[in-house]
């Protein structure tokens, strides 16, 4: 799960818990038929103790409000390289390309402060390293009888060569690319 999703989940959970916090009287006890209670031999008298109403976490002493305030500063994170795929149709699985004349060309832009390197992976293996020239790159894939899945990743340093096993988590940014089989 990504860092932003975790922080968002933390913020929502914290707000939900804060909304549940009541400073007033506890809710009234439900009406219980005393005959049913007397028939139940397993019933014990339990004394209810109010929980300590503090805003501090048990682990680090930060209040919920301090945590929420800290989240705002963390959300300003942006990747050092901007990656954009052009020409495909975006879906939740990735950018979808339909081959024309037996092949599909994937164009993209990758802009960063310094050098930018692009990598094309299929099944965890680097199959191509397109050159990034003036922030643009492209690669062409031959169509096959079935859908093909690729990942395009970018990095600030030269990490892999064609044929190397690669991990997309090593890239600054990556996108999934799906090349449909002809006729779909």
**Between 120 and 52, residue with greater pLDDT:** 120
pLDDT at 53: 46
Map out the domains of the chain with their CATH numbers: 3-74 (no CATH), 81-179 (2.60.40.10)
Distance CA 82, CA 154 (A): 9
| Mean pLDDT for the stretch of residues 15-22 | 66
pTM greater than the 0.85 cutoff: no
Flag whether pLDDT at 91 surpasses 70: yes
Q: How far from 83 is each of 4, 78, 80, 110, CA to CA, in Å?
A: 18, 11, 10, 5
């Amino acid at each position: 799960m990504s860092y932003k999703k975790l922080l968002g989940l933390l913020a929502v959970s914290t707000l939900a818990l804060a909304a549940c916090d009541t400073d007033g009287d506890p809710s009234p006890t439900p009406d219980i038929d005393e005959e049913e209670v007397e028939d139940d031999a397993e019933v014990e008298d339990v004394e209810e103790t109010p929980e300590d109403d503090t805003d501090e976490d048990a682990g680090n002493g930060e209040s919920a409000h301090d945590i929420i305030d800290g989240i705002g500063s963390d959300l300003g994170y942006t990747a050092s390289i901007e990656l954009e795929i052009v020409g495909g149709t975006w879906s939740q699985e990735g950018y979808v390309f339909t081959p024309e004349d037996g092949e599909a060309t994937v164009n993209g832009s990758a802009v960063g402060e310094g050098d930018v390197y692009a990598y094309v992976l299929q099944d965890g293996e680097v199959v191509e390293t397109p050159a990034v020239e003036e922030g643009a790159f492209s690669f062409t894939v031959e169509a096959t009888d079935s859908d093909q899945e690729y990942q395009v990743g970018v990095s600030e340093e030269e990490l892999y060569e064609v044929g190397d096993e690669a991990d997309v988590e090593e890239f600054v940014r990556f996108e999934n690319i799906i090349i449909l089989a002809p006729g779909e």
